[in-house]
Amino acid sequence: MAAQARALVAARWLADAVKSNRVGPNLRILDASWYLPKLKRNPRAEFEKTHIPGASFFDIDECCDKSSKFDHMLPTKGEFADYVGDLGIGNNTHVVVYDASDFGSFAAPRVWWMFRVFGHNSVSVLDGGFKNWLKEGHAVTEQYSKPERAELKVSLDKSWVKTYEDVLNNIKTNAFQVVDARANGRFRGVEPEPRENIEPGHIPGSINMPFPSFLDSTSGLERPVEELKKLFQQAGVDMQKPFWVTCGSGVTACHIALAAHLCGHPGVCLYDGAWAEWFIKAAPEHVISEGKGKQP
């Protein structure tokens, strides 16, 4: 299996790899763009129009548990291995993930986390994403050549994936901190959720750290480690204690996991069903909101 890779790689490093034809069985690039429906952006169509040379498209709505009624829930080991193997990724492949979000990064940390939960640690997020790649003037293309299929052997670390029942039990025990990456208005319950029939609010006792706070608003680059540590401190997250992360549907929560990893706190656990599941299943008293909340 490929060795642990640094969590972030710079656009210049990847551009040099592209220019020197290093993209292949030992280095694969994935465009993991995904957007909330309200943005009316088609990530696959955008990929087909322009992307980093040598990249393949990773669809979190395809590589998922399609039997679940919740969006892009984690797939099985076999489903994940089959999907990424079809993208030319084997056990010795260094994977670099990016997306084309205006934030600089949106869904890429989710795919980074997925590879790691399935035991493939040679995975990095492109710092600043496609936004910074374009800003630095690196090459783009519309051409796509499907990689030759590879075989990836994976193992799932189930301890990293938390369920509704786990989080419900934690309300009683308060054994773990729960950190939510959604916008503050959604967390407080005063701004609407993007999904129908889901009201905003938060899990009792959870802490809010909106994911854009980890990124430089101009460049989209990840903030320096010392700034990240200060953000956790200001939010009231004790980095010496374990914590779980959540958001709307398990995507932007992985920004918190990435930031924690950069701060030397690897292995942050994800509540995969996230708020979309919590609101549906939770009792009204477990939906904390300044707004409508959940009616009995």
pLDDT in tens, 177-235: 999 999 999 999 999 999 989 999 999 999 999 999 999 999 999 999 999 999 999 99
pLDDT at 210: 98
Residue 8 pairs with which residues in a beta bridge? 125
Q: Are residues 250 and 272 in contact, defined by beta-carbon separation less than 8 angstroms? A: yes
Rounded distance between C-alpha atoms, residue 82 and residue 170, angstroms: 34
Q: Which residues are catalytic?
A: 247
Phi-psi region of 219 (alpha: psi -120 to 50; beta: other; left: phi over 0): alpha
Q: Is the pLDDT of residue 293 over 90?
A: no
Name which of 107, 141, 131 is nearest 11 in CA terms. Answer: 131
- Which pLDDT score is estimated for 27? 98
Q: What is the pLDDT of residue 3?
A: 54
Determine the pLDDT at residue 295: 86
Instruction: Measure the CA–CA gap between 137 and 15, rounded to whole angstroms.
Output: 10
Structure-block tokens of residue 221: 């680059």
d(CA 203, CA 201): 7
| Token pair in block for residue 192 | 């609407």
Q: What is the CATH code for 159-286?
A: 3.40.250.10
Per-residue pLDDT at 28 exceeds 80: yes
Token readout for 95 is 């994977």
Half-sphere exposure of 187 (CA within 13 A, CB side): 18
What is the model's pLDDT at position 1?
A: 41
Alpha carbon distance 195, 71 (integer Å) = 10
Domain span(s) for CATH 3.40.250.10 in the chain: 8-156, 159-286
User: What integer best gives the mean pLDDT of the chain?
Assistant: 96
- Helix, strand, coil percentages, rounded to 5, for the chain: 35, 15, 55
pLDDT above 80: residue 137: yes
In CATH terms, the superfamily for domain 8-156 is: Rhodanese-like domain (3.40.250.10)
Above 60 in pLDDT, residue 60?
yes
The pLDDT-based confidence of 4 (bands split at 50, 70, 90) is: low
d(CA 276, CA 196): 10
Locate 10 and state its tokens. 């710079």
Q: What is the pLDDT of residues 72-125, one digit of tens each?
A: 999 999 999 999 999 999 999 999 999 999 999 999 999 999 999 999 999 999
Least confident of 144-148, 247-251, 290-294: 290-294
